[in-house]
Amino acid sequence: MNMQENDRFDLTPRQIVEYLDRYIVGQEKAKKSVAIALRNRIRRRRLPENIAKEVAPKNILMVGPTGVGKTEIARRLADLVKAPFVKVEATKFTEVGYVGRDVESIVRDLAETAVAMVKKRKIEDVRIPAAERAEQRLADALLPRPEKKSAVPDFMRLFGGGGSPEKDQEREDSPEEERLRDSTRKKILALLREGKLDDREVEIDVTESQSVGIPLLGGAGMDSMGINIGDMLGGLMPKKTKRRRMKVSEARTMLAAEEAEKLVDMDAVVREALDKAQEEGIVFLDEIDKVVARGGTGGPDVSREGVQRDLLPIVEGSPVQTKYGTVNTDHILFISAGAFSSVKPSDLVPELQGRFPIRVELQPLTREDLARILVEPENSLLRQYTALLATEGVHLDFTPGAVAEMARLAERMNGEMENIGARRLHAMIEHLLENISFGAPEEGQGTVSVTPEFVRERLEPLISDSDIRRYLL
C-alpha cells in the first residue's frame, strides 16, 4: 500500500473539516458530524476483528433546505477518502407507484462503482508496461511484411505436387534477412518513442467488446437481477477482432488500453472492490423526506412507508447478491438528507429512525454565506466563469460591491420565492453575463469590470417583474 493509501487512514476530524471548508461554506455542525463518523471508520479498522465486526457505523440524517450543501458534503467526503460512493434519490423507489426500483440496486450500484474505482487504479499501475507492449504491437504492424515464399516450387503445385497450398510450409528466412528485419524493427521503435510516426496511418487488429442482449427479457425489472448476459457468455465465446485503419497516435492509445486490460487480474480487482464496498462504501440517500407518509399510513401514501420498510434491511445490514459476489451492508455508511418542510424526521418509521442516530440540521444560507460562496470555495462560481471567458480574451473583474449586490439579490429572490439556496446564484450569473458570453467570440472585449451598477442594470428588471422572474430566476 503506497503513501497515498496510508494517508487516508490517518485523517483526523480536524483535517477532514479543513478539507470540506475548501469547497463548502458554513455548516460547521454537519461537517463536524461527518468528520467524526469518518474517523470512527478509521478507528474501527484498528480494532481486533472480534470487536470490529460488532461496531456498526453511525449513520447520519441531514435536515435542511435545498441548495445548502448536503449532497456536496457527502460527495467531497467520499472524494477525500477515495471511497466508493453512490447518490440515490429515494423518490426513484416510488416514481411508478407500488412498483418502484428495487432497493437492492443501491448496493449493486455501489459494487459497480467500487470495481470501476479499483480497476482504474490497477490500470494506472500497469500503464508503463502496457504502453511498452502497445509499442511492440505497433512496431510489428508498421514493419514491412515480407512476401510469403513457399517451400514447394510453383511448377510442382500446378501438377498436384507438394500438397494443398494451405499445408505449404513457408521457407524460413535466412540469418541475413532476420538481422535486417530486427534492425528495421528497432528503428521503427525508436521513431515511435520520439513521436515521429504519430501522423502515419496503420492497420491494427482490435478486440471488439462482446454484447449479448435479450430484448424480450430486458424490461423494467432487469436491473434487479444484477446479471449481465454478455459477462455470463463472455468466457464461452471467442474474442472477436476487427481490423481497423487509424493514425498511429490513436492506435497507441487503443492498444495501450487493450494491453492494460490483459495485465490487470480481474479476480483480484473484484475481491478488493467487494471488500472496499463493504468496509468503506458511502451511500447518500437524498430526498428521504419524500418517502414519509403525511398524517398516517393509509391511502396512496402506503407505498411511501413500503419504501422505508424495503430500505430498512439494507440500512440495518444484510447480504445483497451482485454479479461480482455477495456484498454485506453491515458496515456501509448511509447518509440521508431531506428538507422535511411538510413532514418531520420523527414521521419516519421508528425502525428506520433508529438506524440514523446522528441528526444534523443545516442552516439556510444568509446573505453573507451567499457572498462567500461566490468567491471563497476552490473553483468557485466566479472563478469558473472568469476562466471560461478568459479562453476567448475576456477578462472579468468582479468588484467586492458587485459580489455583495449579487448576494443581496439572491437572498431577496430566495425569500420572496422558493428558497433554493446557492442554486439561485447559477441562474443569476447566467443572466448577468449573457450578453458578454454571446459576443465574446467575435468581439474579444478585453477587461470587463462587473460593478454593483452593472449587476442592478442587468438583474433588477427581472427581479422587479414578478411574472418574468417566475420563469427565469
Strand order across the 333-338 sheet: 85-89, 282-286, 333-338, 60-63, 358-361
pLDDT value of position 146: 61
pLDDT value of position 363: 87
**DSSP character at residue 288:** G
Residues annotated within a binding site for ATP: 25, 67-72, 286, 351, 423
Query: Which CATH number does the domain housing residue 423 bear?
Result: 1.10.8.60
pLDDT value of position 216: 36
Q: How many other C-beta atoms lie within 10 A of the C-beta of residue 402?
A: 21
Closest C-alpha among 308, 317, 319 to residue 353: 308
Chain CA centroid to CA 90, Å? 19
**Does residue 325 come out as left (phi exceeding 0), alpha (psi in the -120 to 50 range) or beta?**
left
**Average pLDDT, stretch 156-166?**
50
Q: What are the φ and ψ backbone dihedral angles of 201, each rounded to 5 degrees? A: -90, 150
pLDDT averaged over the chain? 81
386 occurs within a structural domain? yes
Residue 30, burial from CB neighbour count under 10 angstroms (0-12, 13-18, 19+)? buried
First-last CA distance in the chain: 50
387 occurs within a structural domain? yes
pLDDT at 244 over 70: yes
Closest C-alpha among 392, 295, 294, 308 to residue 355: 308
In the structure grid, which three cell numbers stand for residue 14, read together? 480536524
d(CA 186, CA 179): 11
127 occurs within a structural domain? no
| Same domain assignment for residues 343 and 457 | no
Residue 294: pLDDT band with limits 50, 70, 90: low
| Same domain assignment for residues 208 and 245 | yes
pLDDT at 42 over 80: yes
Residue 213: pLDDT band with limits 50, 70, 90: very low
pLDDT at 237 over 60: no
Identify the bridge partners of residue 40 per DSSP, sorted by sequence position: none
Residue 97: pLDDT band with limits 50, 70, 90: very low
| Same domain assignment for residues 282 and 252 | no
Name the strand (E) or helix (H) holding 389. Answer: helix 381-390
**Average pLDDT, stretch 41-60?**
88
163 occurs within a structural domain? no
pLDDT at 457 over 70: yes
d(CA 234, CA 144): 34
**Average pLDDT, stretch 126-145?**
85
| Same domain assignment for residues 178 and 259 | yes
| Same domain assignment for residues 109 and 43 | yes
| Same domain assignment for residues 259 and 137 | yes
Of 361, 391, 408, the residue that ends a domain is 361
pLDDT value of position 469: 59
The position carrying cell 449493486 is 108
The one-letter amino acid at 428: M
310 occurs within a structural domain? yes
157 occurs within a structural domain? no
Of 231, 263, 295, the residue that ends a domain is 263
Instruction: Report which of residues 34 and 102 the model is more confident about.
Output: 34
SS3 state of residue 202? strand
Residue 152: pLDDT band with limits 50, 70, 90: low
The one-letter amino acid at 52: A
SS3 state of residue 284? strand
SS3 state of residue 360? strand
What DSSP string runs through 2-33? Answer: -HHHHHTTS--HHHHHHHHHTT--S-HHHHHH
Of 312, 327, 361, the residue that ends a domain is 361
**Average pLDDT, stretch 141-163?**
57
Residues annotated within a binding site: 25, 67-72, 286, 351, 423
Number of domains present in the structure of the chain: 3
Chain CA centroid to CA 74, Å? 14
Residue 331: pLDDT band with limits 50, 70, 90: very high
| Same domain assignment for residues 357 and 372 | no
| Same domain assignment for residues 330 and 373 | no
Query: Which CATH number does the domain housing residue 336 bear?
Result: 3.40.50.300
Q: What are the φ and ψ backbone dihedral angles of 450, each rounded to 5 degrees? A: -95, 110
Which structural domain range is residue 291 located in?
Answer: 3-121+270-361
**Average pLDDT, stretch 305-325?**
89
| Same domain assignment for residues 202 and 324 | no
**Average pLDDT, stretch 151-173?**
52
168 occurs within a structural domain? no
Q: What percent of the chain has pLDDT over 90?
A: 29
| Same domain assignment for residues 141 and 35 | no
Whole-structure pTM value: 0.77
CB 420 within 8 A of CB 472: no
SS3 state of residue 291? helix
**Average pLDDT, stretch 237-253?**
79
Instruction: Report which of residues 456 and 301 the model is more confident about.
Output: 456
Instruction: Report which of residues 109 and 242 the model is more confident about.
Output: 109
Residue 170: pLDDT band with limits 50, 70, 90: low
In the structure grid, which three cell numbers stand for residue 26, read together? 458554513
pLDDT at 16 over 60: yes
| Same domain assignment for residues 338 and 415 | no
Residue 101: pLDDT band with limits 50, 70, 90: low
76 occurs within a structural domain? yes
pLDDT value of position 239: 66
Instruction: Report which of residues 399 and 98 the model is more confident about.
Output: 399
The one-letter amino acid at 152: V
| Same domain assignment for residues 55 and 137 | no
The one-letter amino acid at 212: V
How far apart, in Å, are the Cα atoms of 246 and each of 185, 188, 240? Answer: 20, 17, 19
β-strands 446-450, 394-398 pairing: parallel
Instruction: Report which of residues 48 and 9 the model is more confident about.
Output: 48
**DSSP character at residue 140:** H
pLDDT at 219 over 50: no
SS3 state of residue 123? helix
Closest C-alpha among 427, 437, 421, 423 to residue 459: 427
The position carrying cell 504502453 is 131
Helix 248-263 vs helix 105-125: crossing angle, to nearest 10:
110
